[in-house]
């Protein structure tokens, strides 16, 4: 006991108290920390720089398309025929096919994805969730080209058998849309499930405590509380559907066609880019440059969707605050 006291008191006796206290607090230089910070900052920069580079490249080529090909922006955006060989560069058929297949995809993915998310977060036991969620995520790992052939060799024949071969053509937007929907379902499901699971259990208990059933609790309490996250998930999925290429390139056909009939073939923006750029197209031609105009437009559309989703999310949140 005495010894202990001695050892505690010893340093105080040998140096002034003030100095001893201050010395431990002196600012230290940590080169490692600074290095890590710079490294992480550069990582963040790479993605930003990539995005900007893409926009610059797209814009430059698109600009030369508009100036050299003699196609005005107005003609490009409102033209109803896309036939580069004949000099017709109206993008509407491609935009129409992109939007139509994406909407069909959302019609499939929203009920399936949100239903799965609600089941996983509100109904499933821990054991079932442990099996189901990884399985669902596995779906997201299947290469899209496999989905493409799934559409072409399974869904399309099925549609033709059910709805009639004279109604449904071999290449059609419906089959492509349905399969894109299946492809983005895991995305809707997992992102929404994250949002639903993040709702505090206190709200569920409050609802159950008032005599609400699981369904009432899920629909009237959990879902509205998670609405901003769920809407964000849907917007991400929509953007993904619009950008999806392989399935539509394989199953929707290769002819730009302005039609609202989902049984008809129609080439989407991404499908057209993939087909033309995969062919023997020489650098600097008008056809080549037109692809960049399409790409820029698609980029603008998804950007708009993104901005819209942010606005919606903020708007929905305001209702509750």
Partner 1 sequence: MNGEPACVIETRNLQINYGSFCAVKGVNLSIEPRTITALIGPSGCGKSTVLRSLNRMNDLVPGARVDGEVLFYGANLYAPEVDAVQVRRRIGMVFQKPNPFPKSIYENVAYGLRINGWRGTKASLDARVEAALRGAALWDEVKDKLQQSGLALSGGQQQRLCIARALAVEPEVILMDEPCSALDPIATLKIEQLMSELRQHYTIVIVTHNMQQAGRVADYTAFFLMDHDRAGQLIEYGPTSQIFSHPRDARTEAYISGRFG
* Interface contacts to partner 1, rule CB under 8 A: 125-126, 200, 202-213, 216, 220-221, 224-225, 320-321
Query: Residue 125 or 135: which CB sits closer to partner 1?
Result: 125
Cβ atoms within 10 Å, residue 276: 17
Q: Which residues contact 97 (CB under 8 A, 6 or more apart)?
A: 173, 248, 252, 256, 257, 266, 267, 268, 269, 271
- Residue 83: phi and psi, rounded to 5, are -140, 85
In whole angstroms, how close is the CB of 312 to partner 1 at the nearest point? 17
In whole angstroms, how close is the CB of 227 to partner 1 at the nearest point? 9
What residues are paired with 89 via a beta bridge?
82
Per the CB < 8 A criterion, the answer to whether 242 and 98 are in contact is: yes
Per the CB < 8 A criterion, the answer to whether 270 and 243 are in contact is: yes
Query: Residue 172 or 217: which CB sits closer to partner 1?
Result: 217
In whole angstroms, how close is the CB of 209 to partner 1 at the nearest point? 4
Query: Residue 196 or 250: which CB sits closer to partner 1?
Result: 196
Query: Residue 206 or 304: which CB sits closer to partner 1?
Result: 206
Query: Residue 82 or 223: which CB sits closer to partner 1?
Result: 223
As separate numbers, helices (DSSP H) first and strands (DSSP E) second, the chain gives 16, 2
In whole angstroms, how close is the CB of 56 to partner 1 at the nearest point? 43
- Pairing, β 82-83 against β 88-89: antiparallel
Q: Which of 261, 128, 228, 139 is nearest to 190 (CA)?
A: 139
In whole angstroms, how close is the CB of 123 to partner 1 at the nearest point? 12
In whole angstroms, how close is the CB of 215 to partner 1 at the nearest point? 10
Q: How many CA atoms lie within 13 A of 45 on its CB side?
A: 6
Query: Residue 276 or 312: which CB sits closer to partner 1?
Result: 312
**Structure-token match 């430059």, residue found:** 60
DSSP 240-274: HHHH--HHHHHHS-SS------TTS----HHHHHH
Q: Which residues contact 186 (CB under 8 A, 6 or more apart)?
A: 113, 136, 137, 139, 140
First to last CA, the chain: 61
Query: Residue 31 or 211: which CB sits closer to partner 1?
Result: 211
In whole angstroms, how close is the CB of 212 to partner 1 at the nearest point? 5
In whole angstroms, how close is the CB of 137 to partner 1 at the nearest point? 23
Query: Residue 229 or 253: which CB sits closer to partner 1?
Result: 229
């Amino acid at each position: 006991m005495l010894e202990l006291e001695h050892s505690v008191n010893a340093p105080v006796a040998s140096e002034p108290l003030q100095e001893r206290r201050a010395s431990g607090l002196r600012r230290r230089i940590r080169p490692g920390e600074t290095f890590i910070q710079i490294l992480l900052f550069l990582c963040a920069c790479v993605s930003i720089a990539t995005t900007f580079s893409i926009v610059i490249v797209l814009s430059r080529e698109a600009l030369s398309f508009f100036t050299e090909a003699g196609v005005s922006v107005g003609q490009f955006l409102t033209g109803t025929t896309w036939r580069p060989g004949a000099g017709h560069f109206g993008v509407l058929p491609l935009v129409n096919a992109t939007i139509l297949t994406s909407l069909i995809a959302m019609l499939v993915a929203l009920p399936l994805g949100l239903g799965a998310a609600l089941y996983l977060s509100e109904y499933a036991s821990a054991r079932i969730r442990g099996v189901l969620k990884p399985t669902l995520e596995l779906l997201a790992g299947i290469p899209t080209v496999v989905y493409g052939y799934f559409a072409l060799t399974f869904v399309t024949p099925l549609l033709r058998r059910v709805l009639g071969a004279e109604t449904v053509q071999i290449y059609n937007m419906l089959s492509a849309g349905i399969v894109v929907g299946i492809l983005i379902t895991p995305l809707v499901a997992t992102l929404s499930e994250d949002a639903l699971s993040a709702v505090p259990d206190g709200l569920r208990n409050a609802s159950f405590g008032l005599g609400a059933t699981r369904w009432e609790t899920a629909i009237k309490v959990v879902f509205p509380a998670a609405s901003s996250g769920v809407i964000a998930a849907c917007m991400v999925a929509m953007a993904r559907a619009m950008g999806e290429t392989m399935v539509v390139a394989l199953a929707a056909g290769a002819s730009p066609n302005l039609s609202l009939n989902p049984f008809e073939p129609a080439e989407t923006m991404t499908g057209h880019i993939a087909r033309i750029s995969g062919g023997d197209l020489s650098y600097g031609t008008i056809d080549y440059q037109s692809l960049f105009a399409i790409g820029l437009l698609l980029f603008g559309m998804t950007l708009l969707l993104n901005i819209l989703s942010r606005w919606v999310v903020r708007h929905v949140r305001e209702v509750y605050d």
